[in-house]
A = this chain, B = another copy of it.
């Protein structure tokens, strides 16, 4: 039996919902999870509001193996992720001694005052463990199955690189793509028949459109190489048959 490991993501930030910033983290997390056999099952983008963030954390941590959040862990008043996650877990949000030491040393080295705003970045739910930040020192954290990371893409990616080796991975969903020079309307019926005959695969059909014409990418996914190949061969034969028909 394949081993199924699931994940959800929470993107925290008014700036994404207002359109001001275009998210780049969803696609990156999706790629990374797929690469290691974890199924990303849901993403929520929520505003900078404590109750909204806490509700999303609680809804998703109960359903999925892992939850990953991005955004809201900086030193300003609108950075409320640590408070919100603490609230979700029902634990106090407090200054973490190790994080204070780490940040104090870093600011001292750079000759920068370790003021109250900067100290905010050491706050995390009681019992949380650090996620190292090789880019700008201030750590993310993990509590339970929830991983809290930065929203700035380069920092998020660096933190995620540190998280990845700690995750339990599942049986990887293998995939094969068949290019189809026709729109979906031409292939809908035979493709549905192939999907029905191969219930151990997931066959997706992704329409592409440009300059007035449609084409389609057909993607077969399966957790075993044999199942993948059997369905892929049928999809390829179907497309070849249609091409021969003209």
Determine the distance from Cα of A158 to Cα of B222 in the docked complex, in whole angstroms: 35
Contact of A207 among B14, B152, B184 (CB under 8 A): B152
Q: CB distance B41 to A47 under 8 Å?
A: yes
Contact of A14 among B15, B155, B196, B204 (CB under 8 A): B204
What is the 8 Å Cβ interface bit string for chain A, positions 99-138, against chain B (1 contact, 0 not)? 0000000000000100111101100000000000001100
Contacting B at CB under 8 A, from A167-196, are 173, 175, 184-189, 191-192, 195-196
Determine the distance from Cα of A209 to Cα of B154 in the docked complex, in whole angstroms: 8
Copy tally for this chain in the complex stands at 2
Q: CB distance A135 to B209 under 8 Å?
A: yes
Chain B contacts of A205 at CB under 8 A? 74, 76-79
Chain A interface bracket (under 10, 10 to 19, 20 to 34, 35 or more): 35 or more
- Interface-facing stretch out of A19-27, A83-91, A236-244: A19-27
Closest 7 CB pairs of A and B: A117-B188, A19-B30, A19-B31, A43-B45, A77-B192, A76-B205, A118-B185
Question: 8 A–B contact pairs at CB < 8 A?
Answer: A19-B27, A20-B34, A20-B219, A23-B23, A74-B207, A75-B185, A77-B192, A117-B192
